Amino acid sequence: MERKRIMDKDDFQTFVEDYTGKIYSTCCRLVGRCDAEDVSQDVLIKIYRNIDRFKGKSGLSTWIYRITVNTCREYWRKSRGYNKRAELKEESLIIDSRIDDRIINEELKKYITEALMAMDIEKREAVVLRDIEGLSYDEISRVLNIPVGTVKSRIARGREYIKKFLEELELL
């Protein structure tokens, strides 16, 4: 017996228009721009196939971020190895200026992107979700399925990594 879909094709088209940009930008920051389009397409397919499993226990955006992060994590593990440093493609990520009010030029953004891509995926996920996507610690905790204390720790370590990276380049 086929399960009834909560979302029909028109609803899904509206959903895609509303969320594709956020999904794509999150994928860019977690797996790199070159792979983000493919990974974000996988995310949209997973959402469409599993929308009837959404129970409403969390917000829809939290559920979407969880699928996005998990899909990026899965891609990362398969393509580059879980703890290996990513090769930075020429088309580097664009970092939103919310990560630090002092970021005023593209060159500094490029170096922050390099720092993000060089750090391990767990710290990167937390930093991207907090400092770029603007999620609260509680939302990140639900998305990553880890305690709030762990979220705060990963963010602090990630920010410290970026700071040291920039200090080594004598940019801070």
| pLDDT class of 148 with cuts at 50, 70, 90 | very high
Angle, CA 131 vertex, CA 125 and CA 134 arms, to 5°: 95
| pLDDT class of 89 with cuts at 50, 70, 90 | very low
Structural domain 9-168, CATH architecture: Up-down Bundle (1.20)
Q: What is the pLDDT of residue 99?
A: 47
> Which comes out higher in pLDDT, residue 57 or 81?
57
CA distances from 66 to 13, 47, 70, 132, 142 (A): 20, 10, 6, 16, 8
Max CA pair span of the chain? 63
Task: Answer whether residue 56 shows pLDDT above 90.
Answer: no
